[in-house]
Structure formats: C-alpha cells, structure tokens
Amino acid sequence: MASVRLASLTKTFGEVTAVDNIDLEIDDREFFVLLGPTGAGKTTTLRLIAGLEKPDQGEVYLGNVSVNDLSPALRDVAFVFQYYTLYPHYTVRQNLEFPLRSKLRRLSESEIDAKVSEVAGVLHINSLLGRETVNLSGGEMQRVAIGRAIVRTPKVFLMDEPLSNLDAKLREEMRTELARLHLDLGFTFFYVTHDQIEAMTMGDRIAVLNEGRILQIGTPDEIYNSPENVFVAKFVGSPTINLFEASIETSTLVVGKKTLVCTIPGTQRSSLEKYTKRELILAIRPEDIEVSKEKKEADSFKCTVYFTQSMGVEDILNLRINDLVLRALVPPKLLARVGDTVYASINMKRSHLFDSETNMRL
C-alpha cells in the first residue's frame, strides 16, 4: 500500500506553475526525499500533501484515500517546519504535550505523560523537559520540533528543510540521528531539501525536482550512478560532475575543441554508433579521473594544476588543458601543487553521455 500518492498534481500561483503535473508514490515506512534547488516547488508540494494548499489539478492520496477535501487537521500528517515555531514561553514538556491535548484525542493525563517520556527518550531531550524553549540551542529546539511531530504518531511525517538553520557540524550529527530515528520509529518520512548530501545520506529513494517537474526518481545509488539527464548529474554529487562538449568519431570520443580523444570501451561501441557526429555532453565524476605525476595510460593527457583544495581525506584538483577545465579528486599523497604538470585520464567505463539538445541520457 502506498503511504502517499500524488496523481497529476498541479498548483499555480498566478502565472507561475509551482508544481507541474507531478506523479509520485511513496511506500509505507519509506524515507523519501524531494530534492531540488530553491524555487523548484518542493515546499509547495509538501504543503499540498499537508492540506495547507489546495491543488488546481490532481489528487493527493494518503493510504488509499483521496484527501483533497480533508482539512490539514484531519489528514493525520505531522509537519516539521524549517523554522521550528515552538511556543517560546512554554516548557519543552508543554510543547510536546500540546498536540496530545487536542479535543480530538481525548487522552488521560497519565497517557500523555507516558507518550511525552517515550518521545523525549528517543530524542535524548529528557533533561530539557522543564526548560522554556527560548532557552534552548538551535539543535535542541529542532529536536523538540521533531518531538512535537512524533507524539502525534502520524501516518506521514513531513519535513521541510529542518536542518538548514543549524551549524554545519550539527547538521552532520542530526543527519545520522534522523536516519536512525527513521529506522527506530518506522514512520513514513517525506523530507524536502536543497542539499544533496542530506538526500544521499538519509533517503531510501530520492525524487529530483526542478521548476515544478520531477526529473528522476530512484535510490541514492541510481541517482548518483545512473543520472537520466544533465540536471540530475550536476545536482547530485560533490564536487560537481565534470561536463564537456563531445562527439563520436569512429570508436573514439572527441572532447572539447578537439582537445582530447578518448577511446570508447569495446562494450559500448556498437550501441553508440548511431550517435556519430551528433553533439553530445560527456559527464565524468571527479573521482573517476585518474591523476598521476607521470604518463601511465595511453589515453592520459598532460594538464596543468590551476589550483588545489585540500579537504584532508582527499584533495580537489582544478586542472586545465587548453579550453577544458577538469575537477579531479585525488589522494593527498599525490602532493600536486599549483602550476605542476600532471597526467590525467578519464575512466570511460564510469562516464555518462547525454544528448546536447535534449539533455537526456543516450
């Protein structure tokens, strides 16, 4: 049974189509991530599921029930906003209790107490229960916001960029905690973000959204290793994938202004034959470019190190050859310095080819 289903969902604001005919199915207990740049339509999609917006076309299904006409309160979804919206002069306990005190629930005091204790335990905020929320750190407030959503044991947990206001280090910690929380609670999570690291770390499946349209849905592995179009290839992966103009000539790939000639692996040659002479885009991830101080492969080419970024566990090299600029990930022991000459080769088996006009995978 799909926990959430969006069918031909569309929402416009004046002339802007924020959500453009979206179809999505999220499985029960899945951690589903909607990933896209600011303005892509992610928050609008979330608000449509919650019932905070009404669609212009299409349906929202929760379970197998169409909820288009149900108010947010009756949809049994919990929403964690980017800005926690906690009640500032209530204690943490009071904030957590609040949803349980609604007349719709009719819980006894001892039931409420038990639920609050359980949730506080899961989120490690037991020691904060008596504190007013104005006196909490960002990370603590965010846990309370999540706690306030968890107490309701909703069908679906909607989260709108909940980590974006936290310091980078705390975001890292919270990512693991959220992933673990999801495993422990077993709720369906629908999580929205612009940060592809969050999507890759936590998602069971990711839908990449741009300009209101879904470009690809898949597991982190599928999205990363088999991007269906240039946008997805660029958006996921850090450092960003390298993109070059290319065309096929016999069994080679000519890259840039005839700057590079790469041999196409034997297994791919026949399927690529029909694209000869077409304008293509070659995509290769920085970790799939080999760099060494001497020429090792037949296909390796000489380039200059333009600048380096030392990340500790690895270095990012910005390499130049004529009109082409490449980013390569290399082990720190390579010790490449600005101005050095190095030899790079592209692992063609890990490369991707897209049609230059449609931006779609060949």
Quick check: 145 and 85 in contact, CB under 8 A?
Answer: yes
Interface with other proteins (CB under 8 A), residue total 45
Beta-sheet pairing, 324-330 with 188-193: unpaired
In the numeric block, the tokens 């044991």 are attached to: 153
Pick 151 or 157: Cβ nearer other proteins: 157
Q: Lay out the site mask for other proteins across 267-286 (x = CB under 8 A, - = otherwise).
A: ------------------x-
CB of 239 to other proteins, least distance (A): 7
Nearest-angstrom CA–CA distance, 347 and 262: 9
Which residue is associated with the tokens 């949809």?
A: 75
On whether the CB atoms of residues 206 and 175 are closer than 8 A, the answer is: no
301 binds other proteins (CB under 8 A): no
Which of 32, 235, 244, 301 is the binder for other proteins (CB under 8 A)?
Answer: 235
Compute the least distance from the CB of residue 90 to other proteins, in Å.
24
Q: Which stretch binds other proteins (CB under 8 A): 7-15, 53-61, 164-172, 260-268?
A: 164-172
Site string for other proteins, 34-63 (x = CB under 8 A): ---xx-------------------------
Question: Side-chain half-sphere of 18: how many Cα atoms within 13 Å?
Answer: 18
94, burial (CB in 10 Å: exposed 0-12, middle 13-18, buried 19+): middle
Give the residue with the Cβ less far from other proteins, 245 or 287: 287
Contact status: 112 vs other proteins (CB under 8 A): no
Does 165 help bind other proteins (rule: CB under 8 A)? no
- Cα pseudo-dihedral 268, 271, 275, 277, rounded to 10: 50
Instruction: Tell me which of 29, 131, 152, 194 binds other proteins, using CB under 8 A.
Output: 194
Non-local CB neighbours of 14 within 8 Å, separated by 6+ positions: none
Q: Choose which of 125, 208, 236, 283 interacts with other proteins (CB under 8 A).
A: 236
* Secondary structure class of 334 (helix, strand, coil): helix
Nearer to other proteins by Cβ, of 196 and 216: the residue is 196
> For the chain, how big is the Rg over CA atoms in Å?
25
Q: How far is 242 from 284, CA to CA, in rounded Å?
A: 5
d(CA 73, CA 334): 58
- Work out which of 196, 216, 242, 345 binds other proteins, going by CB under 8 A: 196
Interface with other proteins (CB under 8 A): 37-38, 138, 167-170, 172, 175-176, 179-180, 183, 194-197, 200-202, 220-221, 224-225, 234-240, 285, 287, 306-307, 309-313, 316, 318, 329, 332, 338
